[in-house]
Structure 1
Amino acid sequence: MATVTRENVGLLTDRLTVQITKDDYYPAFDKALKNYAKKANVPGFRPGMVPLGHVKKMFGNSVFTEEVLRSVEKEINGYLDKERPEIFAQPLPTDDNAATVGKLDMNQPADYSFSFEIGLKPAYTVANPADATIKRRKVKVTDEMVEEEVSRLQNRYGNMQEPETVNNDQCVLNVTFTEVDADGNAVEGGAAKDNSLLVSYFAEAVRPQLNGLKVGDSITVTLDEAFEAKEKEWIVGDLGLNEVADAGSKKFKITITKIGFVEKRDLNEEFFNQLFPGKAIATEAEFKQAVKEDIEAYWTNQARSQVHDEIYHYLIDNTNIELPVDFLKRWLQSGGEKPKTAEEVEAEFPSFTNSLKWTLISDKLTVDNQLQVNPEELREFAKRQMMGYMGVTTLDESTAWLDSYVDRMMSDRKYIDQMYNQLMTDKLFTWAESQVTKFNDEEVSAEEFAKHQHHHAH
């Protein structure tokens, strides 16, 4: 009868040794061999009529090995199901097992011993968010930011015109760049690329040359003449000339293929209601106030993400968790689909252990604080997400299709898992933020805020 014994062999690392006797695997081997004989397709024999001795000679040892290993796997899984040790990953076969497999012989069935190592989860106490001091930045929304956003919205929702000639610095030109020589002839193998540019991207000295041009007209200039340094840098990159030191002195024929002009939307009630339906905005001042509130909501959300990032670092840095390092490195090296070198494992290990620590911390906080996501929350989240994608702001008879669409999304296991993780992460950080009692509040500009902005995949 098979037995499984367990002994400690290192920090949070135990060895499970499976002892199996002939009685544990031989009946299964005998049965598997007979089944094989019934199904085997061997030249010279009718299906199902291959002599057992012939099958045993041809396939016996591989079937024998398979049944011995199947028996070992069954014992290991049975032990883990019964004893339920808190372990990382799957049991890792020891190097001794390969030698045992090499000795398996169906003609000399014997008792066999196989061993595996398991990495044990440690006992630990999660740092208390109430002890943290968290930096909380608030972006000051200026009148200039509001004016910029209003202008952007006027352009975004503006009416695209196609004037016959270039007549404004805000005209959008579709152009073709063709590299030419001193005589204006196309350079064989030279750079050539289509692009889309505002007239205002060109250097001020060149803009008068563009005024009045029609589709099909062109100008011939060097990149140094045509663009200021900032614009020239990305034009050079777009043309694939990054490696060419004298790219700016190259001459190009720039041919206009289309002229567009976005006519800015007027600031009127129709526009206000399109952007903020149901708010009954009647004046420009009310519209700008609504835009300001939108900008503030955006930065409040960004600030919340930053607070959550600081909480993440606090919990990771202040929760002491001992890990079975040697076991985990061996598991990383050989436990995946593709074996890794020791050097690859060392390089990956710091981020791997951080991720592992966070999994342990978040799992414990979720259980201890009974944080849950129910099916209705998942459904509501899916609906809001779809409304965002489709640009839908209110639900009425015309959006009845949304329910059937959400039904389809809710049957996608991968999508459900992704949504669940997203909602649970948000719940966890909302809870942790509610525990923090010490915030260092600081008002900053959008530029200063951006310097501190970095996110972790919690």
Structure 2
Amino acid sequence: MNISKEQLDELNAVVTVDIAKEDYTDKVEGILKDYRKNANIPGFRKGHVPMGLVKKQYGKAVLVDEVNKLLQDALNKYLTEEKLDVLGNPLPKEQENFDWDTDDYSFAFELGLAPKFDIQFNGKKAITHYTIVASDEMIENQIKTTQKQYGKLIPQETASKEDTISGTFVNEEKEIDNQTTITLDKIKGKKNLEKFVGAKVGDVITLKTKGLFADDQDLINALKIERDDAEGLNIEVVFTISEINKQELAELDQEFFDKIYGKDVVKSVAELKEKMKEDAARQFVQQSDQQLLNDVTESVLENTKFDLPAAFLQKWIKATGEQELTEDQAKEEYEKSEKGLRFQLIEGKIITDNNLQVTFEELKDFAKDLIKGQMAQFGQTSPDDKELEDIAARILSNQEEVKRISEQLMSQKMLGFYKENVKLKTKEVSFDDFIKEVYK
């Protein structure tokens, strides 16, 4: 057997595998002998079928199968030994007048090669790393929301704009019959609000769903319908009031502080605001870091230039797609995936060059930290190590979970690497300003 490579250019090559008769004869003969021992052919006793008949019936199929196995093994071994970094898979070149009745065979494969490149982490401008802080308005709203949560409901005879109203929405045609509680600040439109203000328990209010709530999600919750059904919904519903309550806010006293943070952790409104700001800042870190990952990814993609074997990859997509594609469709699919492929190559190089690979021990420790965080949310702040080990072992026995957790850990590693190696500028913003700036 002989394997040779013709380098067409930096990104394309052709590998030719020559297979001679002596490479496969012994294997094919051995298989045909086994066939002869077990063949059931009418007119012959088992094990006494003439070899000529066995070859005539099975010889070509066995030959083709064994040569293909030999070919794939040889090609894979060659790519590994030569350390050829290929994109996609080798594509067999079409051969005119190929003849299986000859003794020697030659097979040619097109290769698309990964490009060599240097990563450019920094462009002309430093990348913004946001520090998101809670505004005074956000903290005031959070305090009021928490006061409502720990406050009291005072029954009312008639409804006012500040009240909470319970009742049932009904529309027989759409099979809507949902008991719910709404706050009148969610009702949209002066005419709709006027129907509620002054109403009493037992009153029946007729409403149009279009423009009833400012947010589709509020409509979905109120009517208990699917999101697709809520979009553009314009029907008449009746709402029967069963209860009217005024929300009395909890007092901003020590009892309230203790309910939220534990005994004597917070002792004043000023300390409460500061604690809420700290908690909010910790929650915002994840959003800030994710945005940094997104921005660095875009910057690296923009500044790291290299060519790809586009023609080969389009041909490969056309040849390996689940559905038959035209050349134009294959080109379109390639263009859709090109950006993702470029970043896969960049990310792979970063990981390899900087030894950022995820080890099993790191994965297990990371899984245990995730488990501890989840348990803490349910009040289990000090789980023993054996319990964590057992839970982690169960999770890591699931390949889907391993993939998901590995991606999370790799994102953390990449984030840490970027923070150390990319030119950044820190900018402190409120959450609202962050949303406006990032999603402008």
For Structure 1 versus Structure 2, the TM-score category normalised by the shorter chain is 0.7 to 0.9
Q: Give the equivalent residue in structure 1 for 2:387.
A: 401
Worse-matched range after superposition: 135-144 or 61-70: 135-144
Task: Give per-residue Cα distances to partners, 1:248-270, cap 9 Å, x unaligned.
Answer: xx543334689999886665656
Q: Give the equivalent residue in structure 1 for 2:349.
A: 364
Report the identity percentage.
27
Q: Give the equivalent residue in structure 1 for 2:4.
A: 5
Worse-matched range after superposition: 233-242 or 305-314: 233-242
Q: Give the equivalent residue in structure 2 for 1:384.
A: 369
Structure 1: which amino acid aligns with 2:411? T
Task: Give per-residue Cα distances to partners, 1:7-63, cap 9 Å, x unaligned.
Answer: 123451100111111221222222223334455577888877766555544443322
Structure 1 Cα separation of the partners of residues 69 and 231 of structure 2: 59
Q: CA deviation at 1:164?
A: 11
Match for 1:143 among 127, 130, 136? 136
Match for 2:275 among 290, 293, 316? 290
Structure 2 Cα separation of the partners of residues 45 and 61 of structure 1: 21
Worse-matched range after superposition: 283-292 or 148-157: 148-157
* Partner SS, residue 302 of structure 1: helix
Task: Give per-residue Cα distances to partners, 1:434-456, cap 9 Å, x unaligned.
Answer: 233452x54544333224446xx
Q: Is the 8 A contact 1:92 1:335 kept in 2?
A: no
Distance 1:229 1:55, change over 3 A: same
Q: How does 1:19-168 map to 2 (within 5 A)?
A: 19-38=18-37, 52-53=51-52, 55-96=54-95, 100=98, 103-104=99-100, 108-129=101-122, 132-154=125-147
Q: How does 1:214-233 map to 2 (within 5 A)?
A: 219-223=204-208, 228=212, 230=214
Q: CA deviation at 1:67?
A: 1.4
Distance 1:309 1:242, change over 3 A: closer
Q: Give the equivalent residue in structure 1 for 2:413.
A: 427
- Structure 1 stretches lacking a partner, 5+ long: 180-189
Q: CA deviation at 1:115?
A: 0.8
Q: CA deviation at 1:331?
A: 1.6
Structure 2 Cα separation of the partners of residues 277 and 163 of structure 1: 30
Q: CA deviation at 1:210?
A: 4.7
Q: Is the 8 A contact 1:273 1:279 kept in 2?
A: yes
Distance 1:170 1:57, change over 3 A: farther
Q: How does 1:166-205 map to 2 (within 5 A)?
A: 170-171=163-164, 173=166, 175-178=168-171, 190-195=173-178, 196-200=180-184, 201-202=186-187, 203-205=192-194
Q: Is the 8 A contact 1:28 1:67 kept in 2?
A: yes
Q: CA deviation at 1:302?
A: 2.0
Structure 2 Cα separation of the partners of residues 155 and 53 of structure 1: 92
How many residue pairs get aligned? The number is: 426
Q: Is the 8 A contact 1:173 1:256 kept in 2?
A: yes
- The alignment yields a C-alpha RMSD, in angstroms, of 4.0
Task: Report whether the alignment pairs 1:354 with 2:343.
Answer: no
Q: Is the 8 A contact 2:129 2:427 kept in 1?
A: yes
Calculate the TM-score normalised by the size of structure 2.
0.80
Task: Give per-residue Cα distances to partners, 1:85-135, cap 9 Å, x unaligned.
Answer: 2222321112228x63xx32xxx3421111101111222111143865113
Structure 2: which amino acid aligns with 1:230? A
Structure 1: which amino acid aligns with 2:175? A
Structure 1 Cα separation of the partners of residues 58 and 163 of structure 2: 78
Q: Is the 8 A contact 1:165 1:212 kept in 2?
A: yes
Structure 1: which amino acid aligns with 2:138? M
Structure 2: which amino acid aligns with 1:431? F
* Partner SS, residue 308 of structure 2: coil
Q: CA deviation at 1:349?
A: 2.4
Match for 1:449 among 429, 434, 437? 434
Q: How does 1:274-285 map to 2 (within 5 A)?
A: 275-276=260-261, 280-285=265-270
Task: Give per-residue Cα distances to partners, 1:398-419, cap 9 Å, x unaligned.
Answer: 7863331112223334433432
Distance 1:227 1:16, change over 3 A: closer
- Structure 2 stretches lacking a partner, 5+ long: none
